[in-house]
Chains A and B, each alone.
Chain A
Amino acid sequence: MSHTNALPFSSRSMARDVITDQAPVLSVNGLTTNFDTASGTVHAVREVSFDLYKRQRLAIVGESGSGKSALAMSLVGLVPAPGRIVGGSVKLNGTELVGLDDAGISKIRGRDIGLVFQDPMAALDPLKTIGTQFVETIRVHQDVSAKVARRMACELLAEVGVNDPERRIADYPHQYSGGMRQRVLIAMAIANDPAVVIADEPTTALDVTTQAQVLDLLAKICDERGNALVMITHNLGIVEELCDSVNVMYAGRFVESSSTRSLFGSPAHPYSKALLDCVIDPATAKRGALPAIPGSPPDLSVDEPGCPFVSRCPIGRDELRCATERPEARALAGGAVVRCHFASDTPGDAA
C-alpha cells in the first residue's frame, strides 16, 4: 500500500545496504530527559533506546509534543533550559556523550554529529555573512587557514546547489530564500564530515515545492558520504520514501520500532495504526471530516501507571491491564519491538 504521491527522490532507486553486523555508530540506551517547569516536571523523553548503524536512515515519527525534538537535542547535549538529561547513555563509536563538559561535547558536535534544524530562517546569525559563519564552522574542527576554509565552503555550497558560490558566500542570510538557507545549513552540517546527521523536521518550515528538493539533497549527500541519518518528522510520506527503519514516538517513549516496510505493511501498535489511518491519500480521499485520532496526548508532567495511549486506544480503552500496568517493550515475531500488551504483527489480529 502506498500512502504517498510519487516524489522525485533519487534515493529511491539507489541500492541501499545498511551495515548492521558491525558495531552501531550511535547507541542510545535508556535516555531520559526532563524539563523542570514552574508547573511541574515534564518528562519529555522517557527511557529511549536505539542503535544507529553506518548508512542507516532511521526515522523518528510522532505528533508535535511527543518529545521528538527534545530527543534530538538530548543526543548532542543541547536541550534548552530548563531541560536536562536525567538518565541513560548516548554512545558514539563507544564514547559516552552524556555528562561530557562543554569542551568535550563541542568537539563532537559538528565533527561527529551534524545537525539540521527545523527553521532555516532563524538558524543563521543575521549580522554575519554566510562566509563568516561557514568559515567559523570549518575552522572549529579543522586546522586550516581562513582562505582554505573559504574555498572549502565554496565547494560545499556548490555541492548543495548554490549558484555562483564565490559571490554568494559574501551575502548575508536575509539575502537567501528559505530553501537556499536550508541548503546552506545542510552544507554547514556536513562540512566536517560527521558520521551521523540528525535532521529535525528539516522541511517543515519550507514551501511544499522546495521540501522535496531539500529532502532529496539530504538523502543524496548522506548516501554519497556514507553518513547515518536520523530523520525526525511528523510526515509519514517522508518516512516511507526515505528511511529504512522507523521509531514511532508517543508521550516520550518509542511505542513501536520496526523496519519501514513492516510498519507500513502491518503496523503493530494501535497508535501506529491510528497514525497510518490519518494519512490522506488525495486520490481516494472522500469528502467529509478528516480522519483524526480521538482524544489528546497525555500530560507529560504526570507519570500515570498504565499505558499512556489507553484513553485513545480502540483496544485498551476498557482493559483494566492497560490502565494499571505499563507495557514493556517486547519483540514480535516479525522483528518489530512494541510497547503494547495486545499488539501483534499479524494483520487483523489485534484490531
Chain B
Amino acid sequence: MINTIFKRLGVALATVFGASIFAFILLRKVPGDPARAIAGDAATDDAIAALRKSMGLDDNLFVQYGNYMGSLLRGDFGFSYSTGNSVGSLLAQRLPATVELGLLSVIIAIVAAVLAASISVYSRRRWPDRLLRIASSLAMGSPPFWIALLALLVLSIQLGIFPGPEGRLSPGTLRPPNVTGMFTVDALLAGQWGTFVNAGWHLILPAIIIALGPFAFLSRLYRNQLRGTLRETFVTVAQSHGLRRFPVYSRHVAPHGLLALLPAASLLFADLLAGSLLVEKVFGWPGIGSMTADAIIQKDFAVVQAVLLLAAILYVVVSLAADLIMTAADPRTRVGAR
C-alpha cells in the first residue's frame, strides 16, 4: 500500500516534469518570436532585441528552463503584457469566479448523470435507456459556445427566465464582502439573501451548459458500469438469498458503479476547463476561461503558458487523488490476501 502510494507519486512527478518541459518548449522555441509578438509588428529590431534580453530569451534553453521553473516555484508566473498585471495576481483575481462556476457544474453533472443512468438501468424498460442515449449523444455533440448562444437567445432574451450575459451579478446588486471570492458563499456568510439569489440566478445557466459534456460522458460510463455489474454472479447470488431488487441495486450494484467513476475524475476536470474556456466569454463571466480566451486573441503567451501548466498540474493532482481514493476504497487493493 505504502509502496503503491510512492510509486503513484513518482509517476505523477515525472508527468508534471514532462508536461512542464512540453509547455516550456512549446511557447519558447517553436517558430514565432514571442518578443516580436509582444512588441508588435511595428517595433524596431533594437526594441525587440532589448525585449528579448529583458525576457531572458537569449540565454540557452537549459538556463531558460531553470529560470522559468525557479520563478514558478517562487510563485512568479510571469507578466501579462496585454493587461499590465502579473499573471499570478490575474489568476488570484479570476480564480474564485471559475471555481464557483466549476463546482456547481460538477455537482450538476454528477447528480444528473447518476440519476439518469440509475433510472435508465433500474427501470429495465427500453425507452428510458433510449432517451438517455439520445440525450447523452446530443449533449456530447453539442458545441458549448453555440448552446450558450442559443440558451441566451431563448431563455434570457425571449423568455426572460435567466439574466443576460452580464457576468456574476445584475448591475447595481450589492457585492458581498470578499471572503472566499465565491459570491453565493460570501453572500450567505454575510446574510445577504438578495445577493445570494441574484448570484445563484446568474450561475445556473452557464453551469448547466458547462455540465453538458461531463454529463454525457459520466452518464454513459455509469450506465455501462451498472449494466456490467448487473451481469455479475454476486448480484444473482444476492437475489437468490432473497434480497429484493432495490436493496440488491443500492447495496451491491451502485457501489461498484460509483467506484468506477473515480478514474474519470481527471477527464471530468479537463472537460470542465475546456467548457469554461468556451462558455465564460459568452456569458461575460470574469473567470479564468474568459481571461485565457482574451489572452489568446492578444497573444499574451505568459498567461497561456501559466494556464497550460496549471491545467496540467491540476490534472495530475486530480488523477493522483482519484487513484489513491480508489486504492483506499477497494478492499482488494487495501487489504492483502490472507
Contacts and interface: CB of A to CB of B under 8 A. Distances in A.
Q: Do chains A and B touch in the complex (CB under 8 A)?
A: yes
Given A80-B236, A102-B244, A127-B256, A174 B251 contact: no
Interface stretch (A91-99, A105-113, A293-301, A318-326): A105-113
Of the four ranges (under 10, 10 to 19, 20 to 34, 35 or more), the interface on chain A belongs to 35 or more
A171 B244 contact: no
A103 interface: yes
Nearest to A192: B242
Given A174-B332, A175-B337, A106 B234 contact: no
A109 B242 contact: yes
B338 interface: yes
B42 interface: no
The CB with the most chain A CB atoms within 10 A, among B124, B241, B244, B245, is that of B241
Given A102-B244, A117-B233, A127-B255, A172 B238 contact: no
A172 B244 CA distance: 23
Nearest to B255: A127
Given A122-B233, A127-B255, A175 B241 contact: no
Contacts of B251: 128, 136
Of the four ranges (under 10, 10 to 19, 20 to 34, 35 or more), the interface on chain B belongs to 20 to 34
A243 to B, nearest CB: 22
A111 B256 CA distance: 27
A172 B256 CA distance: 15
B255 A115 contact: no
B242 A185 contact: no
B46 interface: no
B243 A76 contact: no
Interface in A98-148: 102-103, 106-111, 114-115, 117, 119, 122-129, 133, 136-137, 140-141
Interface SS of chain B = helix
Nearest to B252: A125
A78 interface: yes
A172 B236 contact: no
Contacts of B256: 127
A111 B255 contact: no
B231 A80 contact: yes
B240 interface: yes
Given A127-B256, A175-B335, A137 B242 contact: yes
B247 to A, nearest CB: 8
B172 interface: no
A66 B231 CA distance: 21
B225 to A, nearest CB: 13
Contact of B233 (A123, A127, A141, A189): A123
Contacts of A123: 233-234, 237
A90 interface: no
A202 to B, nearest CB: 12
Interface string B221-234: 00000000001111
Contacts of B234: 122-126
Interface of B: 124, 231-234, 236-245, 251-252, 255-256, 259, 330-332, 335, 337-338
10 contacts: A76-B240, A81-B124, A110-B241, A125-B252, A127-B255, A137-B241, A137-B243, A140-B242, A185-B237, A192-B242
Given A73-B236, A123-B233, 12 more contacts: A107-B242, A108-B242, A117-B240, A125-B238, A126-B330, A126-B331, A127-B256, A127-B330, A129-B331, A136-B241, A172-B332, A192-B242
